[in-house]
Amino acid sequence: MNYIDTIDDRVKEYFNILSPDYPEWMNEYINTKELLQQQYVSVTCGTIYSDLFESDFFFSSLDHSIGVALVVWHFTHDKKQTLSGLFHDIATPCFKHSVDFLNGDYMNQESTEDLTTHLIENSKEIMSLLKRDNIKIEEVCDYHIYPIADNDTPKLSADRLEYSLSNTLFTYKLVDDPNVIRDIYNDIEIQSNEDGEIELGFKTKKYAREFVKYTSRLSVIYREDRTRFSMQLLADLLKRLSDEGKIKKEDLYKMKESEVIDLIESSKYKDVFNKWRKAKKVKTSKEEPKDVYYVHHGSKIRYINPLVNGERIYDICKIAKRYIDNNLAYDMDNYVYLDFKLD
């Protein structure tokens, strides 16, 4: 059975928005062992498991990767670029970017990407398909070489576009009507930016401004107090379990998140984990709190300043400028904590 046939009908409808012309050839790649592993990883970096967050829709890392591939396919109809989008998160471990926090990479959140090529070249299934299709691994293992698939913040790429749209619709429910997503998406085309490079951009200011309204809210969610606290706590719990020989870092690439959670809940950290899961709100302080577990550092700033007919929305729309400025002004200087120790 194809994975694509098993997904939620709402996700199927969303995928149809991204590419009404679904590339059936992609299913053989999706159904490989390495990519199917990604269906057990939530795009929320583990935050979905706590009542601190309103998200209850399990949109997987595989769903995200398929979505990115569909965006690339829709705008390029290039198989190599599309596969680069499909493979870009193949090396994503359980709890996604929380493992970057474990690796001390909370500002860039790129520490797991180096394994992408390793996983592809060690997959007999994928390498066989690539050989059959006369595609070299170096043409699909690094989506950074394709500006439609990926580019530098704050430009708009297929990767940023997909997680912005799916998080708006499913994860954080900033909208409940898929037609809102459809209208925004259908206003996008390939344009040329200020550096003479191709980039996804909007035809009209109206939809670019609406997109920025949603993405500016998401940008804060990705790094607000509750998020930084949760991702660092998960990272620290994994480190404790690793130091105690209960789990290895490589296990995070093979296990389901549900299995890792079972492991945590069978450990001495069960009470701490469940206090976090049931918490409704984190506490903050400008002063270092005493005798509690706390988090006190920044995080990667994900924001988008898209093109509108070759010009940045920030430069031509006062409302969008305000959205972006308010987003970038979010204060990450607080000590964030809950009333427990991590002993």
Structure token digits, residue 163: 């997680």
Instruction: List 337's β-bridge partners, or say none.
Output: 283, 294
Provide the phi-psi class of 45: left if phi over 0, else alpha when psi is between -120 and 50, else beta.
left
Instruction: List 143's β-bridge partners, or say none.
Output: none
Supply the DSSP string of 84-111, one letter for each residue. Answer: HHHHTTTTPPTTTTHHHHHTT-TTT--T
- The total domain count for the chain is 1
Q: How far apart are CA 85 and CA 108, in angstroms?
A: 19
Look at residue 119 and tell me if it is in a domain: yes
Look at residue 172 and tell me if it is in a domain: yes
Place of tokens 């490589």: 250
The two counts, helices (H) then strands (E), for the chain are 16, 7
User: CB-based contacts of 236: which residues, under 8 Å, 6+ apart?
Assistant: 102, 293, 342
Instruction: List 283's β-bridge partners, or say none.
Output: 337
Look at residue 161 and tell me if it is in a domain: yes
Place of tokens 């577990």: 293
Q: How far apart are CA 229 and CA 265, in angstroms?
A: 19
pLDDT in tens, the chain (343 residues): 899 999 999 999 999 999 999 999 999 999 999 999 999 999 999 999 999 998 889 999 999 999 999 999 999 999 999 999 999 999 999 998 787 666 665 445 455 556 899 999 999 999 999 999 999 999 999 999 999 999 999 999 999 999 999 999 999 999 999 999 999 999 999 999 999 999 999 999 999 999 999 999 999 999 999 999 999 999 999 989 988 999 988 899 999 999 999 999 999 999 999 999 999 999 999 999 999 999 998 888 889 999 999 999 999 999 999 999 999 999 999 999 999 998 7
Look at residue 244 and tell me if it is in a domain: no
Look at residue 271 and tell me if it is in a domain: no
Look at residue 273 and tell me if it is in a domain: no
CATH number reported for the structural domain that contains residue 99 in this entry = 1.10.3210.10
Domain that holds residue 124: 3-178
